[in-house]
Amino acid sequence: FGLTSPLITTASGAKMGKTADGAIWLNADRLSPFQFWQFWRNAEDGDVERFLALFTELPMDEVRRLGALEGADINEAKIILANEATTLCHGADAAAEAMRTAQQTFADGGAGDGLPQIELPAAEADGLGMVAALVRVGFAKSNGEARRLIRGGGARLNDVSVSDEDQVLQPADFDDGRAKISAGKKRHALIVIT
Decide if pLDDT at 68 tops 90: yes
Q: What is the CATH number of domain 1-111?
A: 1.10.240.10
pLDDT one-digit tens code per residue, 21-36: 566 777 777 788 988 9
List the chain domain ranges: 1-111, 117-193
pLDDT one-digit tens code per residue, 74-83: 999 999 999 9
Q: What is the CATH number of domain 117-193?
A: 3.10.290.10
C-alpha distance from residue 75 to each of 26, 28, 44 (Å): 23, 25, 10
Q: List 191's β-bridge partners, or say none.
A: 118, 179
Q: Which of 23-37, 78-92, 105-119, 162-176 has the highest mean pLDDT?
A: 78-92
Q: Where are the alpha helices (DSSP H) in 118-181?
A: 122-125, 130-136, 143-151
Residue 186: its pLDDT value, please?
79
Between 60 and 124, whose confidence is greater? 60
Beta strand segments in the chain, E: 117-120, 155-157, 160-161, 178-183, 187-193
Residues found in the chain = 194
